[in-house]
Amino acid sequence: MTFLQYWLVNHPTIVNFSWTQGQTPGSSPLFLTLTVISYLSITCLLTHLHLPPIKPNLLKLITVVHNIVLLVLSLIMAVGCILSTLLHPPHLHWIICIPPQTPPTGPLFFWAYVFYLSKILEFLDTLLIILSGSIKRLTFLHVYHHSTVVIMCYIWLHTSQSLFPAVLMTNASVHVLMYTYYLSCALGLRPRWKRLVTECQILQFKYSFLAMAVMLWFHFTGLGCSGIWGWCFNIVFYASLLVLFVDFHAKNYGGSKSIKVCDLDKRP
């Protein structure tokens, strides 16, 4: 525990982290805007070009490495955020409600920053789909999710938004499951729990609404919670994703309403 505590919470780089707009790499509105526009433009361009085929073995190697990196990174972010939540903030209720005027500094916001950068790295998911020739898998849900979640993570940092630790821990944990599945597929295995990965995401969104309601209760019955306007963006984003994932689930799994397995298929 001491080893993990130092490297994931108390390391000087983590403890002394500070998000400063215009100074921290990737913190400017211009960077965010150009990143999202570039992702959408390149995705649109590549889907209309006839790219030369990549050797299957090379594509498999790239896919395996990509999934291993994101699997390990997701696990580190989940553990890092959990330990930071338990050991760093003065009160555990920071997981739901961060006090107003809290500056985006320290371990919790360091992991929010890593999570933000990881969402840009996940743009490679889209490129791998295109290179594999499986354009049909490149759904509106996939592109919308990848492009908008980056904006959400930026708002977390820019507003010191409450509730992000809970969302980060949950989402990173589900991504460990998701990239384990994709890694298995890239290695030639076909786990029977593919469906396990959209329904967990659906559950995540549903429980997020409950957590957001609890945050509102803290906000209006106490001294307030930080990042309330970011909360407004999140609830609209989560609602839209929930609708899209439920629709995807219905089309791919016969519309079953019972959740027996967990399926976060970001690359449907």
Tell me the pLDDT band of 254, cut-offs 50, 70 and 90: low
pLDDT digits (tens, 9 = 90+) for 120-137: 999 999 999 998 887 777
156: alpha, beta or left? (left if phi > 0; alpha if psi -120 to 50): alpha
Rounded distance, CA 32 to CA 3, Å? 35
pLDDT of 266 reads 43
Tell me the pLDDT band of 224, cut-offs 50, 70 and 90: very high
146 touches 124 (CB < 8 A): no
Q: What is the dihedral angle through the alpha carbons of 142, 34, 133, 144, rounded to the nearest 10 degrees? A: 10
18 three-state secondary structure: strand
Find all residues with CB under 8 Å of 142, minimum gap 6, and list them. 125, 126, 129, 266, 267, 268
93 touches 218 (CB < 8 A): yes
Enter the tokens of residue 66: 């990509």
Q: Which of 21, 251, 23, 255 is nearest to 137 (CA)?
A: 251
111 touches 81 (CB < 8 A): yes
Percent of the chain with pLDDT over 70: 94
Tell me the pLDDT band of 267, cut-offs 50, 70 and 90: very low
pLDDT reading at 37 higher than 90: yes
89 three-state secondary structure: coil
Q: Which amino acid is at 50?
A: H
Tell me the pLDDT band of 57, cut-offs 50, 70 and 90: very high
